[in-house]
């Protein structure tokens, strides 16, 4: 382990139940989370991401494996002896206390001097931009303001690691987007390692330094958002992170031959020849133009307007559907119509191959 690693999970297994009814919530999970980074555990419900977060917090104990903090094994330490704080989905604020009292509560329980508590509380209020709300009860605050109080309370003791368990899920869409920016700002300003759990791909892509994609108790891929999005390692990651098109194909020379019979350029080796794969292409990398030589012939089957974007659904000759994301024009329509014959091209280097 290097000095750059804040949290490490080593071969973590968590089994619930026994015998034939045993379920592995975590299946040999290992990951290094760097000091000072915004790391997100992303995946669907039941994938094990919250269980792993609870292991780091100390609320659950692994069936096997170890949790390390700054190189020290903390697997057996209770939560109150770990320099880690958690922000829960419900915020868990004290309604009978003021905003300032909520923020200073953890410091009070640690027996910190009153002057230190007051100074830290003021600093946290300024950090989350709630100075004017210091004397209000939390029941008088909006959802976004309550979340800021929960964040300030968790940050006040200056933990080495802040764990966030889907803290934005209760907010409406507009406020959730605003808080994504605020969370990243807080992480950058404090320099504290954030470990964030979510099932929302947009949250993960917009805030994270790195993402760990989970499914069925396993880490499927770990990397920066751009790498996760553009170079998924398997079909699950490709489908869970954003929208994508899956096209059955076969390696044929320096091309991929689609099920429709059309070919698209793709470098391969002699060992690849005849190998069946799945080609994946993001909708924004699909180009629609005239039905001309060199383009894959297709028929427009549906146009869906999303404001800034229009999704154009087309069918190839064998019925394979491809979705293209087109920027909506400022006025008028996209210049396409259902039933229209068009030509499909893919942006250079945008086609990825997944093993069947």
Percent of the chain with pLDDT over 70: 97
Segments of the chain assigned E as strands: 5-16, 23-34, 38-42, 64-69, 72-73, 84-87, 161-165, 193-198, 210-215, 218-223, 245-252, 255-258, 263-265, 276-281, 286-289, 296-305, 309-315, 321-327, 341-346, 352-355
CA torsion 184→190→193→194, rounded to 10°? -40
* pLDDT at position 177: 87
pLDDT digits (tens, 9 = 90+) for 234-245: 999 999 998 999
Q: Give residue 291's pLDDT band: very low, low, confident or very high (50, 70, 90).
A: confident
For the chain, counts of helices (H) and of strands (E): 8, 20
* pLDDT at position 90: 81
pLDDT digits (tens, 9 = 90+) for 61-79: 999 999 999 999 999 999 9
Q: Give residue 283's pLDDT band: very low, low, confident or very high (50, 70, 90).
A: very high
Q: Give residue 1's pLDDT band: very low, low, confident or very high (50, 70, 90).
A: very low
Residue of 163, 21, 187 whose CA lies nearest to 83: 163
Residues in a beta bridge with 219: 214
> How does DSSP classify residue 137?
B
Q: Give residue 355's pLDDT band: very low, low, confident or very high (50, 70, 90).
A: low
pLDDT average, residue stretch 91-108: 91
Residue 331 has pLDDT above 50, yes or no: yes
pLDDT digits (tens, 9 = 90+) for 169-179: 877 888 888 88
pLDDT digits (tens, 9 = 90+) for 184-194: 988 999 999 99
Q: Give residue 347's pLDDT band: very low, low, confident or very high (50, 70, 90).
A: confident
């Amino acid at each position: 382990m290097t000095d750059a690693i804040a949290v490490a999970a080593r071969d973590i297994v968590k089994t619930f139940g026994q015998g034939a009814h045993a379920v592995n919530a975590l299946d040999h999970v290992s990951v290094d989370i760097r000091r000072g980074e915004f790391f997100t555990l992303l995946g669907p419900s039941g994938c094990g991401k919250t269980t792993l977060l609870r292991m780091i917090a100390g609320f659950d104990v692994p069936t096997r494996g170890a949790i390390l903090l700054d190189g020290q094994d903390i697997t057996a330490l209770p939560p109150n002896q770990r320099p880690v704080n958690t922000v829960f989905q419900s915020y868990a604020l004290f309604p009978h206390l003021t905003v300032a009292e909520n923020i200073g509560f953890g410091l009070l329980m640690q027996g910190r001097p009153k002057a230190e508590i007051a100074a830290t509380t003021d600093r946290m209020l300024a950090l989350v931009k709630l100075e004017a709300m210091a004397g209000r009860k939390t029941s008088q605050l909006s959802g976004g303001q309550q979340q800021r109080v929960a964040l300030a309370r968790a940050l006040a003791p200056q933990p080495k690691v802040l764990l966030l368990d889907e803290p934005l899920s209760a907010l409406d869409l507009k406020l959730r987007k605003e808080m994504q920016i605020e969370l990243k700002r807080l992480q950058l300003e404090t320099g504290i390692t954030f470990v964030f759990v979510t099932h929302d791909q947009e949250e993960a892509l917009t805030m994270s330094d790195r993402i760990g994609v989970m499914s069925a108790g396993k880490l499927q891929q770990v990397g920066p958002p751009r790498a996760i999005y553009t170079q998924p390692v398997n079909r699950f990651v490709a489908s869970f992170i954003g929208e994508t098109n899956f096209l059955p194909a076969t390696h044929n020379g320096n091309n991929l031959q689609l099920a429709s019979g059309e070919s698209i350029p793709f470098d391969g080796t002699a060992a690849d020849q005849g190998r069946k794969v799945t080609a994946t292409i993001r909708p924004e990398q699909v180009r629609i133009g005239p039905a001309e030589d060199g383009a894959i012939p297709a028929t427009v089957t549906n146009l869906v307007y999303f404001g800034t974007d229009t999704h154009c659904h087309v069918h190839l000759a064998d019925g394979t559907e491809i979705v293209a994301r087109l920027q909506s024009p400022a006025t008028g329509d996209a210049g396409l119509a259902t039933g229209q014959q068009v030509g499909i091209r893919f942006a250079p280097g945008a086609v990825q191959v997944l093993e069947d």
